[in-house]
Structure 1
Amino acid sequence: MPPSLVLIRHAEALHNVDLKYHSLPDPELTQLGVQQCLELREHLKATLPTDRRIELIVVSPMRRTLQTCLTALDWLIDAGVPVIPDARWQETQAKPCDTGTPASILAAEFPSIDFSSLDPVYPDKTSPAGAAYRWSKPAVLARGQSALADLYRRSEDVIAVVSHSGFMRAGVTGRWFQNADYRIFDFEDRTGKDEGEPYRLVEWEVTKKKGGMGRSREEPVALGAGLPEET
């Protein structure tokens, strides 16, 4: 049976506060963002089903997602749950605030995280080598399917993913995520489907309206909405 997924958007970062910070490379969380992480931490500890276990954390290798992971999910990490940075879960655009930091620098900033398995092309999104991460509808949808296919084949009971609103909405779920909010999904049953059929998610009723923290917009959107056909 494939795992259930707890998809979490990072807490408030500097670029969420003011457009002037969109030119800031890979911005960090604000003080409010840190507080949001602490609120999310206590909420998840009190609310997640006790008969299900988060056994893996996958995180976008950007500062704001790494910080959210280490603050909101520290209780899982302290219990031995492994953390895997995965470039497929990074944000969609190539503007500075949505472009990551080289792994060698991240390793010094976040020494508790092992970046050895990170795609060596990261954080490139614009050269031919980084084409899988470019800001286009075909690339983002393909990246979402690649990320889901990898998780579908894993054996863990529940996997938590810390990612970004744009990618999770347009590339994976068709749902909105406010800062430090989350939604829980199961994989749609693939019995009888061809191997080439896309992976789809079915949201749990408990988060289906405005997210687990009640902060997110309720209306669904089409996968790929708002993405350019090519860049």
Structure 2
Amino acid sequence: MTIYVHLVRHAQGFHNLSAANHQLPDPDLTPLGEQQCAALRDAFPHQEALTYLVASPMRRTIYTCLLSFAPAVAAGKKVIALPEVQEVSNLPCDTGSDPARLAAEFGPAGQVDLGRVGEGWNDKSADSEWAPEMDKLEVRAKKARVWLRELGRKGPQEGTGDVHVAVVTHGGFLHFLTDDFDGLNPDMGTGWANTECRSYEFVEPEGVDGDAKLKETSASWRMRRGSATGLTETEQMEIRIALKGRLKEEFGGV
């Protein structure tokens, strides 16, 4: 059995249109964003094989998951909202809604499991575990990977051989989740396009690796990078050092 984790950056939200829109709290998807979801829905090759759906509890990520993986939702798969994969910054656009609002918006349809979204999940103050600090981001990325691996190890659907987990998260956090800063555009805060999907496996799927490290599948890498080679460990570290300084400068992180 192989656990495949298909990582997706959310579709375009209104905060992506301008810097001024970063002040919008937990913004909606734009009409173009909804079109991007439809395109991903039609292009994603594993709709029928999906075992689990996971999304950041931000509204744009939940809607991206519901729309992009609509066939799986229609087949009865619930979107599991996972606070650990919320976005990095403490800007209004990257700060989630209170659990009560999310329950009112997504609860009646019964398509989203909000069981892990408790009070304080959207508190990004300096003393919070969700603050935009390098060490805290690395800790929650590790927690997210370990949780996803345990989810995958519950096994595939009856009659299938592999597990396919779709995870919709955010451009900045994807670099921490994958522990890969290759392609990071400092001005954009990410190297991932809206609704870009990359596929990964666990380096140690049986749980030997305490960090639950991910590696991009060769097919996924070839599709987007061809024969190119990734960054060296030294180059990755240099980006980490620069990013730590940027977090401290912009958000007060350390």
TM-score (norm 2): 0.77
- Of residues 123, 130, 135 in structure 1, which corresponds to 2:132? 135
Tell me which amino acid in the other structure corresponds to 1:92: V
Specify the SS of the correspondent of 2:236.
coil
Shift of 1:207: 2.0
Matched, 1:161 2:167: yes
Deviation at 1:199, TM superposition (A): 2.2
Secondary structure of 2:33's partner? helix
The equivalences for 1:23-172 within 5 A come to 23-44=23-44, 47-48=45-46, 53-111=49-107, 112=109, 113-126=112-125, 128=127, 131-154=128-151, 155-156=154-155, 157-172=163-178
Unaligned runs of 5+ in 1: none
Q: 1:24 to 1:150 in 2, by over 3 A?
A: same
Root-mean-square deviation (Å): 2.7
* 1:50-102, Cα deviation, whole Å (9 max, x unpaired): 7xx21111110001101101111111011122321010010011011110000
- 2:120 partner letter: V
- CA–CA distance in 2 between the matches of 1:2 and 1:127? 39
Name the aligned partner's letter for residue 187 of structure 1: F
Alpha-carbon separation, structure 2, partners of 1:199 and 1:149 = 5
Secondary structure of the corresponding residue to residue 92 of structure 1: coil
CA distance in 2, matches of 1:18, 1:58: 28
Asked if 1:201 is matched to 2:204, the reply is no
Deviates more, 1:111-120 or 1:22-31: 111-120
> Relative to 1, partners in 2 of residues 1:205 and 1:117: Cα closer, same or farther, differing over 3 Å?
same
Alignment of 1:174-185 (within 5 A): 174=180, 176-185=191-200
Question: What secondary structure, in the 3-state scheme, does the structure 2 residue paired with 1:101 have?
Answer: coil
What is the rounded CA distance, in whole Å, between the counterparts of 2:206 and 2:51 in structure 1?
25
Deviation string 1:144-169 (CA, Å, 9 cap, x unpaired) is: 00000111122241111010010011
Which AA in structure 1 matches 2:129? A
Larger radius of gyration: 2
- 2-structure distance, mates of 1:138, 1:7: 22
In the aligned structure 2, how far is the partner of 1:188 from the partner of 1:158?
A: 16
**Residue number in structure 2 paired with 1:21:** 21
Change (3 A) 1:71 1:202: same
**Conserved in 2, the CA contact under 8 Å of 1:55 and 1:82?**
no
How far the C-alpha of 1:211 sits from its partner, in A, is 4.7
Aligned residue runs from structure 1 range 181-192, under 5 A:
181-189=196-204
Counterpart Cα distance in 2 of 1:211 and 1:162? 19
* Amino acid in the other structure paired with 2:105: E
Displacement of 1:17: 1.1
Q: What TM-score does the superposition give when structure 1 sets the normalisation length?
A: 0.84
Residues 168 and 185 of structure 1: is their aligned pair in 2 closer, same or farther, counting only changes over 3 Å? Answer: same
Q: Is the 8 A contact 2:55 2:62 kept in 1?
A: yes
